[in-house]
Structure 1
Amino acid sequence: GTCPRGHPEGTGTGRSCGPPVPEITGAGCKNGPRGCLASGLRAPGRPAVPGGSAPRSDGRRAGTGASAAAEGSPAAACPPAKHPGPSARALLAADLWASRRLGVCAAEGSPCAAARPLLRLVEVSGHGLPWLLGTAYGLWRSGSAAAREVLLNLLFALLLDLVLVAVVKGLVRRPRPAHNKMDMFATISVDKYSFPSGHATRAALVCRFVLHHLVLAAPLRVLVVLWALVVSLSRVMLGRHNVTDVLFGLLLGYALYSVVQYCWLSPLSAPALFALWSH
């Protein structure tokens, strides 16, 4: 006849019922019945077959030995995680090390904490909000058509900069440095991310814009360039950004000016905008 439940049938010429296979239920049966079969244990309500194979619910037979164990293991279902290569890890380590060493004004107990209030003023000077409000006010008060054209394109450049930096930050999602103190001026949701530095992007963009469209004496031109460099360096010294965040921000702002110059707004290309701001 047949063997009692839980007693596998023997093999060979003289078949007999073998010893019962213990049932493992609850947390002991990992990954359900398939996990029990893979470990050689009998799942509840499933007959055990000698050799480690048993019929599956879809009509196929489960594998035996290492193949069944691999099929039922969680590692087989999840591909191995991809890690950056040695060169990328070395670059990341160097970036974090340099950013930590240069963050000399990151907190009150830092080596150059006395310069922190001054650098926070520099931080405000490179913030997007003062630049947007100042440009809009100048555009509203301007009585010259040429000045309105320059200010309108500066406003367009600042808005484009804010949108582009927010998109890149939302895609990359690199956190701020661990030594950063979250006391920044007028932040929004994406400002919790670090890459790229919006201040560095804006500094490079405004610097190129001012040097190309304003007639300034040589000392003032030097001051504009120094301002952009000090704003960018202050981001690392305050612990707001890593070095690569600032470098990429400078490159992005430098390239963004070329986009603004290519899409330059004029009374011929955008008459509605100039009619809106004209008195």
Structure 2
Amino acid sequence: MPSPKAKNPVRSGGSPVLGSSNGRYEFMSLTKPLNRSSPPHLLQRQGSDPTTARLRASESPTRRRGSSSSTGSASGQGLAEEDGIRLNPSFIRVALSSLLAIDLWLSKRLGVCACEDSSWGSVRPLMKLIEISGHGIPWLAGTAYCLYKSDSAAGQEVMLNLFMGLLLDLVLVGIVKAVVRRRRPAHNRMDMFATFSVDRYSFPSGHATRAAMCGRFLLAHLVLAAPLRVLVLLWAGLVGLSRVLLGRHNVTDVMFGFWMGYWQYNLVEMLWLSPQTLQGLLGQLA
């Protein structure tokens, strides 16, 4: 007669029943490590500890692969954003490029006297005459002659400072041209009167700086009637316009030249010399 079924004893730290062999029940402690051949329900029971589960999950290959992939994706996204920022041009650069394109296009359209075959080629001799009227050599020669022929101290003082202003204009324009080194427009013909090495550069227009400075100087220090004052202003404007019509300069070269010549006159006023001061300086140098 079979023996009655015994109740499952409960031991401290005991584990569920693994099975029976020859009518005997076997128990296994939870603290005993399980091998890979242990039944699945025991492996699941052993992993039910939260701390152990978290540690093992963090050490699992899938978790490591996931973390490495997320790190790689984050770094790749960061590099993509950095490349995007590097490739996106700034607003100032785009604005300057647009203004440069407009300047070149407008200068080419206004160069209607660049050669005899241009649309206004018949006006080219008149534009070249206006060009010579704003050249530095005639102004220096004329000012030196007036300084020599002047018989009054006031006239000599005015002509002396005009001569010094013309020399200052040549020096400043030459320095700016040598630094910027902007080429002249492609449709320009290098047939100008008495050019120098820096004259192959375009920025700024020396004729425009000279016209603006001399115009302000004449209006401020010579007593002229109203029609003559209008003629001085008209001459200065025509000198700047002739530079663009002849294809010598771009529009921005002339505009900057007018601005530069306007402020050069202020510099001449600050460095104003009297004949006595000049004689004292020459005496010290001698």
Q: With structure 1 as the length reference, what TM-score do the two structures score?
A: 0.67
Partner of 1:48: none
Match of 2:45 in 1: none
| Aligned twin of 1:157 | 165
Q: Cα distance 1:273–1:238, how it changes in 2: closer, same or farther (>3 A)?
A: farther
CA distance in 2, matches of 1:263, 1:238: 35
Instruction: Find the aligned partners of 1:272 and 1:245 in 2 and give their Cα distance.
Output: 39
**Paired-residue identity, %:** 63
Distance 2:225 2:186 in 1: 42
Q: For 1:273 and 1:233, how far apart are their aligned partners in 2? A: 40
Displaced runs of 4+ in structure 1, greater than 2 A? 267-275
Partner of 1:176: 184
Relative contact order, higher structure (CA 8 A, sep 6+): 2
5+ unaligned residues in a row in structure 2: which ranges? Answer: 1-86
The structure with more helix, counted as a fraction of residues: 2
Match of 1:110 in 2: 118
Letter in 1 for 2:144: A
TM-score by length of 2: 0.66
* Alignment-mate amino acid for residue 118 of structure 2: S
- Contact 1:99/1:243 (<8 A) preserved: yes
Aligned to 1:24: none
The answer for the alignment partner of 2:44 in structure 1 is none
Separation (CA, whole Å) in 2 of partners of 1:171 and 1:163: 12
Report the equivalent of 2:224. Answer: 216
8 A contact 2:156–2:275 mirrored in 1: no
Amino acid of the structure 2 residue aligned with 1:95: D
- Which residues of 2 match residues 109-258 of structure 1 at below 5 A? 109-258=117-266
Q: How far did 1:140 drift?
A: 1.1
**CA shift for structure 1 position 273:** 6.6
Counterpart code for 1:215: V
Within a 5 Å distance, the mapping from 1:26-105 to structure 2 comes to 85-105=93-113
Cα distance in 2 for partners of 1:274, 1:146 equals: 19
Alignment match, 2:4 = none
Describe the superposition over 1:93-146 as per-residue Cα deviations: whole angstroms up to 9, x where unpaired: 000011001101001111000000000000000000000011111111111111
Q: Could you tell me which residue of structure 2 aligns to residue 57 of structure 1?
A: none
Cα distance, 1:274 vs. partner?
8.8
Q: Is the 8 A contact 1:267 1:274 kept in 2?
A: no
1:71 is aligned to none
Q: CA deviation at 1:272?
A: 3.7
Q: Which amino acid in the other structure matches residue 231 of structure 2? A: L
- How far, CA to CA, are the matches of 2:236 and 2:139 in structure 1? 14
Quote how far apart the aligned CAs of 1:220 are. 0.2
Using the TM superposition, give the Cα deviation of residue 152 of structure 1 relative to its aligned residue in structure 2, in angstroms. 0.2
Select which of 256, 261, 272 maps to 2:269: 261
Mapped partners of 1:178, 1:273: distance in 2: 46
Unaligned 5+ runs, structure 1: 1-79
Task: State the distance in 2 between where 1:143 and 1:255 align.
Answer: 30
CA RMSD in angstroms, aligned pairs only: 1.8
Deviation string 1:201-252 (CA, Å, 9 cap, x unpaired) is 0000000000000000000000000000000000000000000000000000
Q: Report the Cα offset of residue 268 of structure 1.
A: 4.5
Letter in 2 for 1:191: D
Is the partner of 2:106 in helix, strand or coil? helix
Larger Rg: 2
In structure 1, distance between residues paired with 2:270 and 2:144: 22
- How many residues are aligned here? 195
**How has the CA–CA distance of structure 1 residues 150 and 274 changed in structure 2, closer, same or farther, with 3 Å as cutoff?**
farther
Deviation at 1:193, TM superposition (A): 0.1
